[in-house]
Amino acid sequence: MEVIAKYTILAFVIVVGAMAIGDIVSTKTKAFVPSVFVTAIIFLFGYWWIFPKNIVEVAGFASPVVTLSMLLLITHMGTMMSLKELASEWKTVCIALVGIVGICLGTMTLGQLIFGFDKAVIATPPLTGGVVAALEMQARAQEIGNEELAVLAILVYIMQGFAGYPLTAIFLNKEAKRLQTSYRSDKSKAKNLSTSEKKEEKSKLAIIPPTPKKYATTFVLLLKLAVIAMLAFFMESWFKSLTTITLSKYVWCLLFGALAAEFGFLERSILNIANSFGFLITILMAFIFSGLANATPEMLARVVLPLVGIILFGVIGLMVLVFLAARFFGYSREMAWSVALTALYGFPASYILSDEASKAVGENDEERKYIMDRILPKMLVGGFTTVTVVSVIIASIFKGFIK
């Protein structure tokens, strides 16, 4: 047992140390170099030369606790958004969809022309979203006995963040500065708009009194959050049985979290009050970086040109189409690009990049909150639209093109 404990704590120190270095670099550069990008680089080279492939698992971040963390964190994110905010984000959904169309146009025109039809088709779904799309395309490639295409599908999913992280950091910093200027030009109006407590007072659905302060312990708050996350988890299969439509449990978590906060059952930003947010986000980020263990130098060498080229063409297509759509939907270019780029990483990076931008630009708590209140809902909704929903649909269509 002592031997196991020794290696567990050593692995934990290394994993958290890599993330800490990312935070330090991000703070030093005022989020110009995002922490997730720095940490991903450390993990990539660490897996090549130093780290054991299972270092994240040895550190205690195995699959069950990762799934639990994801459920709790996304339900928590829902408590940070009012129903009015969620309903008003239809433009964000449209922007995210435009970005997906742009990716597909970029990969299936220039990407197909240069790298061939099969490579463009296999790489497009992972580029539009998350691991489910990547696994579906990998399985299809393996079915036809093409291991190179299978490797490409997974590597696009693993490596796309290297394009998404720095680009989003640049755009969100510019958006944060624009919002800061807006806040300062009309401070009293901005204050009224950004105060979440006032949103809570205006909620006509708040029929459940808040938990008395003496009972609002970490365990009580986590229990309440877990109950809502559990209901959202089971809602996925129940809804599918009634409608044959699959709506991800994580989308239900976001909706149920927002509803529970509106009714007063859950406190706003409940994990922060329970002093549990930081550790849960650490678990989730560690798991995300563990995906880099599969990106060996040999695998990269085999598919490096189509990997880089298809990601590049997809991002160019995204940026061109979103640039044209931003004015139509009343978004700044920077905010629209950031929303669309969530397809390249999703949650929790969407939260971390938003948080870093607000902290880097905001000079006091009020400014940071004002910026975060305007960036985060859009980034979360954009990520769920692309990664959780649309990419799976695209994968189910595109895998039929591989013969």
Residues 38-89: pLDDT tens digits?
998 999 899 999 999 999 999 988 878 988 998 999 899 888 877 777 778 8
Report pTM. 0.78
Q: What integer pLDDT is reported at residue 5 of this predicted model?
A: 56
- What is the model's pLDDT at position 203? 61
What pLDDT, on the 0 to 100 scale, is given for residue 187?
67
- Secondary structure tally for the chain: helices H, strands E: 22, 0
- pLDDT for residue 12: 95
CA distance 18 to 36: 10
pLDDT, tens digit, 9 for 90 and up, residues 259-308: 999 999 999 889 999 999 999 999 988 887 887 887 788 877 878 899 99
The type of residue at 157 is Y
Tokens of 393: 């649909």
Q: pLDDT tens digit string along 178-194?
A: 999 988 887 655 455 44
Q: Is the pLDDT of residue 4 over 70?
A: no
Say what the pLDDT of residue 397 is.
Answer: 84
Find where tokens 């003496």 sit: 214
Tell me: cis bond preceding 348? Omega within 30 of 0 counts: yes
Alpha-carbon gap, residue 191 to 187, rounded angstroms:
6
Instruction: Assess whether pLDDT exceeds 90 at residue 375.
Output: yes
Residues with Cβ within 8 Å of residue 79, at least 6 apart in sequence:
257, 258, 260, 261, 266, 267, 268, 269, 270
What average pLDDT is seen over the chain?
Answer: 86
Which pLDDT belongs to residue 267? Answer: 92
Residue 101 CA: distances (Å) to CA of 118, 119, 168, 200, 264: 19, 18, 19, 37, 39
pLDDT of residue 189: 53
Cα distance between residue 351 and residue 270, in whole Å: 16
What's the CA dihedral at 139, 141, 144, 146 to 10 degrees?
-130
CB within 8 A of 242, min separation 6: which ones? none
Residue predicted with more confidence, 209 or 217: 217
| Mean pLDDT score, 241-248 | 77
In order, the DSSP letters of 68-132 are HHHHHHHHHHHHTS-HHHHHHTHHHHHHHHHHHHHHHHHIIIIIHHHH-HHHHHHHHHHHTS-HH
pLDDT at 191: 52
Indicate the pLDDT class of residue 1, thresholds 50, 70 and 90: very low
Per cent of the chain over pLDDT 90 is 50
DSSP assignment, residue 53? T
